[in-house]
Structure 1
Amino acid sequence: MSRFWPVELRSGRVGLRPLSLRDARAWKEVRARNAAWLAPWEATVPPGDTTAPRTFRGLVRDLRRQAREGRALPFAVTVDDTFAGQLTVTNIVGGSARFAQLGYWVDQRYAGRGVMPTAVAMATDYCLFEMGLHRMEVAIRPENRASLRVVEKLGFTEIGYAPRYLHIDGEWRDHRLFAITVEECPGGLLRRWRTDGDHGRQ
């Protein structure tokens, strides 16, 4: 899988490119400005865990290592080439499973403007049609209406409910689970979103 990274993707004003150490200033500024908005949905480190990166530099290095091993695709989300958020494909599995999980966050100033659905559609298409994966999964807190709207707009199917699934905002939180397979988006998810969605509000 490592041969599929690095890669850059673009649709209109929205771009995906490898997250870089050069993004440090923009990443920190966006997250500081959006701290209250992101906090309820932010992954946190469980008590006693010493393995998770504690700095942006450590995060990028860890994600780069996973990308080299073919286990992750760490993207910066851009709008008009300006840093706007992060989208990371993780837990990439080959063999008879051929699936991956996808997580994302975006600067609040771009929320509701079609940026994240476009980014998720691009990443999903790349994983399904270029990397040859079969299934993409997304886990979302039931209270996270903005994130739920992304998967609803793109036609992901709800497949289950996972109690205490991820450590978020200091506690183990329940999540709704969504997925889409290559058979469910013939011709590509981005093309369907561009045709049927409110993609114009990017």
Structure 2
Amino acid sequence: METAILPKTPQEKLNTLLLYFYNRQTYAGEFFDQRDLTGNDGNWKELEYLSNREALFYLNTLITKGLIQRIPEWEFKITFDGLNYALQLTEEGLNSTNCFVAMSFDEDDKPIFEDGIVPALTATGFRPFIVNKEHLEPEQTINDGIIAGIKKSKFIIADFTKQKDGVYFEAGYALGRGLKVIYTCRRDWFSQCHFDINHFPHLIYETPAQLRYGLINKIEAWIK
């Protein structure tokens, strides 16, 4: 069974509520009924709020911030500012279940991805996002695809086995955007890591199984 990615912080809970309505509206300015959210049998349970009063608290906070507007007496709609903020959340990956993967994709490195990274992400409820020529739109360059992919991801796994220049670029760009970066490297390559990153905590492994286990623990503790 897939693990749900639940909001934990107050800001995540606020974002989740706004995106819930944003993804359900069929046109800008559509009205919603508060009772569908905060009633005893409302959707607050689906959104993992502890009570309908907690859901009402976050609904009122969205109103205070000008992201939704109440229409007397039970209805409300997303404002223009709310639409723009929801779009920003969607584009920047703040509520995404994508993890951008930066690594060597040489043929002999496939077990790192297929037996280490992918099962770790699946076990924690995330999806791997990789960029290669097959994933690009006709008008996109590789760099366009990388930047767009990082923007749509919640965090990044950067594996420095083989010391690929692209991994340094992708990890640095993600870090500059404020994304969390999980640094990994196979033990026989770690001594060759550049001094700019070798002081960062790395998940050092010898086998894909060790990588999988370490990533699951790291993601559960640091990302979710």
Say whether the fold is shared (TM-score over 0.5). Answer: no
Q: Which has the higher contact order (CA 8 A, sep 6+)?
A: 1
Specify the structure having the higher radius of gyration (Cα). 2
TM-score by length of 1: 0.31
Bigger strand fraction? 1
Q: Which has the higher helix share?
A: 2
